[in-house]
Amino acid sequence: MVSSSPSGQTPARVRLPGISPRAYEHPVDRGALATLRLVPGFAEVLKAVSGFVHERGEQLLALSSALRVGPTQYPELDVLRRECAHILDLDEVPDVFVARGAEPNAMAIGMRTPFVVLTTGLVELLDTDGLRFVLGHEFGHVLSGHAVYRTMLLRLLDLRPSMSWNPMSALGLRAVLAALTEWFRKAELSCDRAGLLCGQDSAAALRTQVLMAGGIDPRRVDIEAFLRQADEYESVDSIRDSIVKLRNIETVDHPLAVVRAAQVQRWAASEEYRAILAGDYPRRDGESPHRGWAEDVGAAARSYKESLSASADPLMSVFAEVGKTVSGAADTVWSTVRRRGGS
Give mean pLDDT, residues 76-87.
98
Confidence category of residue 112, pLDDT binned at 50, 70, 90: confident
H/E segment holding residue 109: strand 106-109
What is the spatial distance between Cα 174 and Cα 157, in angstroms, rounded to a whole number?
Answer: 10
Residue 339 placed within a domain: no
Note the pLDDT tens digit of each residue in 25-34: 888 777 777 7
Count of the separate structural domains present in the chain: 1
Question: Would you state the pLDDT for residue 146?
Answer: 82
Residue 199 placed within a domain: yes
Question: Would you state the pLDDT for residue 100?
Answer: 96
Confidence category of residue 147, pLDDT binned at 50, 70, 90: confident
Higher pLDDT: 265 or 169? It is 265
Q: Where are the alpha helices (DSSP H) in the chain?
A: 27-36, 42-52, 55-65, 75-87, 120-125, 128-144, 146-163, 167-199, 202-213, 223-234, 239-249, 257-268, 271-277, 293-309, 314-342
pLDDT of 286 over the 60 cut:
yes
Note the pLDDT tens digit of each residue in 9-61: 456 899 999 999 999 988 877 777 776 666 666 666 666 666 555 566 677 77
Confidence category of residue 239, pLDDT binned at 50, 70, 90: very low
Residues with Cβ < 8 Å from 165, sequence gap 6 or more?
Answer: none
Q: Which of 117-121, 235-239, 242-246 has the lowest mean pLDDT?
A: 242-246
Note the pLDDT tens digit of each residue in 196-227: 999 999 999 999 998 988 888 888 888 888 88
Yes or no: say if 2 and 129 are a contact pair by the CB < 8 Å rule: no
- Dihedral over Cα of 39, 44, 49, 50: its sign: positive
List the 106-109 sheet strands across, edge first: 67-68, 96-99, 115-119, 106-109
Residue 326 placed within a domain: no
Q: Mean pLDDT for the chain?
A: 74
Confidence category of residue 254, pLDDT binned at 50, 70, 90: low
Higher pLDDT: 136 or 159? It is 136
Give mean pLDDT, residues 316-328.
41
Distance, C-alpha 302 to centroid of its chain:
19
Confidence category of residue 334, pLDDT binned at 50, 70, 90: very low
Question: Would you state the pLDDT for residue 263?
Answer: 87
What is the spatial distance between Cα 97 and Cα 140, in angstroms, rounded to a whole number?
Answer: 17
Yes or no: say if 8 and 271 are a contact pair by the CB < 8 Å rule: no
Confidence category of residue 181, pLDDT binned at 50, 70, 90: confident
The pTM for the full model equals 0.72
Give mean pLDDT, residues 174-202.
84
Residue 319 placed within a domain: no
Question: Would you state the pLDDT for residue 176?
Answer: 67
Residue 302 placed within a domain: no
What is the spatial distance between Cα 266 and Cα 191, in angstroms, rounded to a whole number?
Answer: 14
What is the spatial distance between Cα 109 and Cα 147, in angstroms, rounded to a whole number?
Answer: 5
Question: Would you state the pLDDT for residue 330?
Answer: 43
Residue 129 placed within a domain: yes
Question: Would you state the pLDDT for residue 275?
Answer: 97
Residue 321 placed within a domain: no
Residue 316 placed within a domain: no
Domain containing 105 equals: 21-284
